[in-house]
Amino acid sequence: MNISSKILLLNKPGQRKELQNFLGDFFGTVEMLTNTSVAKEALVRNEYDIMVLQDHLNDMDAVGFIRWMNENELEVPFVVIAEDGDVSQASEVMKGGAEEFLQWSDQKEYFFPYVAEVIRKALGKNNSKRVLSDSENLYQTLFENIRDAVLLFSWDEKNSVPGTIIEANKVACRRLEYTKQELFALTPADIDVAGSTNYNLVAQGLEQKGFFVFKVIQRSKSGKEIPTEVNARIFNLGGRKAILAVARNITDQERALEDLKNSEQRFRDIIESCIIGICITDKEGNFEFVNEEYCQIYGYTPEELIGKHFTLVVPKDNRAYMFELHDDFINKGKEIKGNWTVIDKDGKEHFIVADATRIKDASGEYKKVTFVEDVTDTKKAKEALELSEVKYRTMMESLQDPVMISDDQYEIVYVNRAFKKRFGNVKKNLKCHSLVFGLKEPCPWCMAAQENMSGFRKRQEHRINKRDYQITTVPVVFEGIYQAKMTFFRDVTKVVKARKKAEESDRLKSAFLANISHEIRTPLNAVMGFSGLLKDQDLSRDESLMYIDMINESSEHLLHVMDDIIEFSFIDSGLVQIHPIRIQAQKLLDDLLGETEIFKKKLNKNQLQVSVQNALPDKFKLVTDESRLRQILLNLLSNAVKFTEQGGITITVSYTENRWVLFSVKDTGIGIPAKMHKVIFRRFRQADEGHTRMFGGNGLGLALCKHLANMLGGHIELKSKPAKGSEFLLFLPALFDESLARALDVTVVE
C-alpha cells in the first residue's frame, strides 16, 4: 500500500467484493455499502477522500444519487463505473461533477489497476485544489490581520501618479473611518492633508526604484489628522501597474520626539548635578560644555574653560599624544577609555578615570562627550597596598604552585611565576573567571568571598587546560575590609588519574566478572549436565548423539570466549603479531559466504539471504593480515546472523575515493540506537542488556574488532537505526603500513 486514503465504494448487493479488496490493498480503508439510505447517512456523518459509484443502485441510479449529493452540498470527489452506460449517461454524470466515467470490464487484471490509477489522479487533483484554497486563505488572512493599514491603488498612466483605491484592509477602513466601498472612490489626495507630501516626488521614486518610503499626514472621514509613514511599492496586477502602500501610524513616535525636545532642559539640569565630571568638545578639541563637577576637579569656572582647548588640563609632555588620540576618536571612534594624569588650575596633578562617547549634533558634526572621575585618593590607597605586598612577592614567586590574586572587581592584580608558566601571561584588566575557567560571569565562590569576607574558605577540584587542579581560595583582608582574593592551584592530575584508573579498573573487573561468569558457567553447566545424561545406559543412539552435539556446541562456545580473552591479553601485553600478505579478495568473499551459511545453519536461520559483491578493480593489490581481516569480518557476520530474523545480509568490498579499501557488512536485523553506537565498541558492552539474555554474547567481539582494525591501520564505522538494520564499515589501507605497526607496538612477521 503506497497511499493512505478513505474510500466509499457504493454498489449493488453481492457485487464488486474483489474490487474492494484490490483497492483496499492499494489505498487503505475501503468501505463498501450496497444500500443508498445507509450510504447517504455515511456521507453526511463521515468524511471520505473519494467515492466509487456504480451506475445502478438498489433503489436509484447513479444520476439520481449525484443529484441528491449536489442538493445537499456534499463535496466529495467521485468516480462512476457503468456496466451498460452510454454517451448521454456519461454526459449527465460528468455534468454532475464526476471525476471520471468508467465502463466496467471483466478483464480484472487490467481494469482494476486502471480504476486505481484514475482514483490516484483524482485524489491528487483534489489535494491540489485544497492546497491552493488554503494558500489563498492564508494570504487573505495576512492581508486582513496585519497591524498596519494596507491600501492598493491603481496607477494613473496618463499623469504617472497613483490613482484610486482598489482594495483596502480592515485596519485602513477603521483608521480612516470609511467603509471599503467608500474608499474605492478616493485617491491619495482625498485622504491626505494637502501639502503634507510631494506626490510628484513619490511618483518619481516609484518609477525609478520600484518602491518609495515617505511621511504624510492622513485625514480621516471625521477630520482627524494622523501622522503616517508609508512604504509604497509598484507591481504588476493583471497586466497593469498598481501601487501597494503599507501605512504605519507614527503618532506615538512623533509625540515621543516632541517630548524629547521638551525634556532637553531637564536633562541639562541632571547633567549639571551629576557627581561625575562631564564635558563636551567639538571636533577641534575645544570645550563647548562643562558641568559643575568637571569644574571642581580642575579648579576652573565654566567661563574659563568654554572655548579653550582640552589640552589645557593635560600635562605638557603628554599633550601631543592626547591630541592624536582625540583626532582618532573623532574620525574613527577609537576607544580612549583609561586612567590618565591631568593637572588642575594650580598645576597640581590628579589621577582620573575617563571614558568617552561620540555623538552627532543637528548639523551632522561629531562631538566628543567625556566622563571623568577623580580617583586620586583611590590610586594612592592602591599604591600603599602594592608597597605592602612587596615583602610577600619573593615568597610567592618561589612557590611551585600557581598563585593568583584578584581584586573586588574580579580583575587579576598579581600572578606568580608558576602561574604564568601554566596559564600564560596576564593582560591588563583581565578577569580571573575568564582567564582560568573560561566563564563570562564571576564564579559563585568569588561572589561568596565578597559577601562573607574573612569567614570564607573554599577548596575544590577543577579541570583546566586538560590538567586537574585542587583550587584553594582565601580572602585577603586588611583592617577588617575585604581587599582581594588569593587563589592557590595545586596540580593533582596524577592523583586524579590514578583515582580514575583505580575506579575504571574496579568497574572493568566487575564487568568482567558479570559477563564472563555467565559466558563460562553456562556452557560448562551444559557440558557437565549432558555428560551426566550420557551415563544413562537406556539412551537411544539418537539421544546420545544429540547430547554429544550439545556438549560439542557448548565446548566451542567456551573455546570462543577463552580465545577472545586471550586475544585481548595479547593486545594489552603488546604481543600481537601481524602477517601482511597479498590477499585475493574474491576468494576471501567466497570463504566468508561459506562461513556465513554455517552460521545460519547453526542458528536455524536458513531463511536469511546472504550475498557478496566485489567492486574492487581488476588485479587490485590488497596487502594486509588475512587472518586478522578474516577474524574481524567473521565476527561482524556472526553478529549479523545472530541479530537478523528476516531479510538478508550483504557483504561488499570496494575502493573509495579517499583510497580506502572498504568492507561492508549490512543486515536487516534489529538495529542499534544512535546513543549506543560508541558504547558497543567498548569491552563487555552491548546495545541492550536484553540482548545478552536473548542472544547471548560476552561483549568482547566488537571491541576486539575495533582493536584489530586499528592494528591493521584502519577503523570501523557504524550506520544503524532501530528496526532498520545495521551496516558495519571496515576501512583498511590497500597496503599495510609497517611504520604504523611500530607506532602501535605490533610485531610484523615477514
pLDDT digits (tens, 9 = 90+) for 503-517: 776 776 666 666 666
Pair (277, 422) in one structural domain: no
State the first-to-last Cα distance of the chain, in angstroms, to the nearest integer. Answer: 59
Angle at 369 between CA 364 and CA 375, to 5 degrees: 170
> Is the residue at 643 inside a domain?
yes
pLDDT at 400 exceeding the cut of 50:
yes
Last residue of a domain, one of 379, 410, 430: 379
pLDDT score of 692: 43
φ and ψ at 467, to 5 degrees?
A: -125, 150
Q: pLDDT per residue over 562-601, tens digit each?
A: 766 666 566 665 667 788 999 999 999 999 999 899 889 8
462 C-beta neighbours (distance < 10 Å), count = 13
Query: What is the average pLDDT across 278-292?
Result: 91
DSSP state letters, 53-122? EESB-SSSBHHHHHHHHHHTT----EEEEESS--HHHHHHHHHTT-SEEEE--S-HHHHHHHHHHHHHHH
> Is the residue at 435 inside a domain?
yes
pLDDT at 182 exceeding the cut of 80:
yes
pLDDT at 657 exceeding the cut of 80:
yes
Pair (638, 582) in one structural domain: yes
pLDDT band at 458 (very low <50, low <70, confident <90, very high): low
pLDDT at 17 exceeding the cut of 80:
no
Helix count and strand count (H, E) for the chain: 26, 29
Q: Determine the 3-state secondary structure of 593 from DSSP.
A: helix
d(CA 16, CA 22): 10
Percent of the chain with pLDDT over 70: 82
Query: What is the average pLDDT across 186-196?
Result: 89
pLDDT band at 251 (very low <50, low <70, confident <90, very high): confident
Among 7-21, 94-108, 121-135, 152-166, the minimum mean pLDDT is found in 121-135
Please, is 322 exposed, middle or buried when counting C-beta atoms within 10 Å of its C-beta (0-12, 13-18, 19+)? middle
The CATH number of the domain where 425 resides is what? 3.30.450.20
d(CA 235, CA 578): 75
> Is the residue at 565 inside a domain?
no
Give the mean pLDDT of the chain: 81
Most confident of 14-18, 212-216, 411-415: 212-216
pLDDT band at 693 (very low <50, low <70, confident <90, very high): very low
> Is the residue at 613 inside a domain?
yes
pLDDT score of 5: 67
> Is the residue at 562 inside a domain?
no
Question: For the packed helices 701-711 and 541-573, what is the interaxial angle rounded to 10 degrees?
Answer: 40
Bridge partners (DSSP) of residue 461 are 470
Percent of the chain with pLDDT over 90: 21
pLDDT score of 1: 41
Most confident of 165-179, 456-470, 526-540: 165-179
d(CA 678, CA 718): 9
Q: pLDDT per residue over 598-613, tens digit each?
A: 889 888 898 999 999 9
Report yes or no: 613 and 651 within 8 Å, Cβ to Cβ: yes
Residue with cell 478616493: 186
The side-by-side arrangement of strands in the sheet containing 149-156 is: 161-168, 149-156, 240-249, 225-237, 211-219
pLDDT score of 716: 93
Pair (475, 522) in one structural domain: no
Among 378-392, 485-499, 625-639, the minimum mean pLDDT is found in 378-392
> Is the residue at 116 inside a domain?
yes
Pair (160, 120) in one structural domain: no
Q: Determine the 3-state secondary structure of 695 from DSSP.
A: helix
**Of how many residues is the chain composed?**
750
Query: What is the average pLDDT across 667-692?
Result: 73
pLDDT at 523 exceeding the cut of 70:
yes
Last residue of a domain, one of 87, 110, 141: 141
Pair (331, 216) in one structural domain: no
Pair (94, 119) in one structural domain: yes
pLDDT at 218 exceeding the cut of 60:
yes
Bridging pattern class, strands 50-54 and 78-82: parallel
Taking the whole predicted model, whether its pTM rises above 0.75 is answered as no
Among 212-216, 449-453, 619-623, 711-715, the minimum mean pLDDT is found in 449-453
Pair (521, 623) in one structural domain: no
Pair (605, 732) in one structural domain: yes
Report DSSP state, residue 605: -
> Is the residue at 49 inside a domain?
yes
d(CA 175, CA 147): 11
pLDDT at 383 exceeding the cut of 50:
yes
For the chain, the domain total comes to 6
Q: pLDDT per residue over 420-445, tens digit each?
A: 888 888 777 777 767 677 677 776 65
Please, is 302 exposed, middle or buried when counting C-beta atoms within 10 Å of its C-beta (0-12, 13-18, 19+)? middle
Among 263, 274, 221, 227, CA closest to 247: 227
The CATH number of the domain where 614 resides is what? 3.30.565.10
Pair (248, 273) in one structural domain: no
Three-class DSSP labels, 272-323: HCCCCEEEEECCCCEEEEECHHHHHHHCCCHHHHCCCEHHHHCCHHHHHHHH
Q: pLDDT per residue over 330-374, tens digit each?
A: 888 776 678 889 999 999 999 999 888 888 887 888 999 999 988
Angle at 355 between CA 353 and CA 356, to 5 degrees: 150
What ranges in 603-718 are assigned the alpha helix state H? Answer: 626-642, 689-695, 701-711
Pair (20, 79) in one structural domain: yes
Query: What is the average pLDDT across 106-134?
Result: 75
pLDDT at 226 exceeding the cut of 60:
yes
- Residue-range definition of the domain harbouring residue 169: 146-256
Calculate the dihedral angle through the C-alpha atoms of 649, 651, 655, 657, rounding to the nearest 10 degrees: 10
Pair (581, 526) in one structural domain: no
What is the identity of the amino acid at 351?
A: F
Bridge partners (DSSP) of residue 477 are 482
pLDDT score of 310: 93
Bridge partners (DSSP) of residue 678 are none
Last residue of a domain, one of 214, 236, 256: 256
> Is the residue at 560 inside a domain?
no
Pair (236, 314) in one structural domain: no
Bridging pattern class, strands 277-281 and 287-290: antiparallel
568 C-beta neighbours (distance < 10 Å), count = 15
Please, what's the largest Cα pairwise distance for the chain? 128
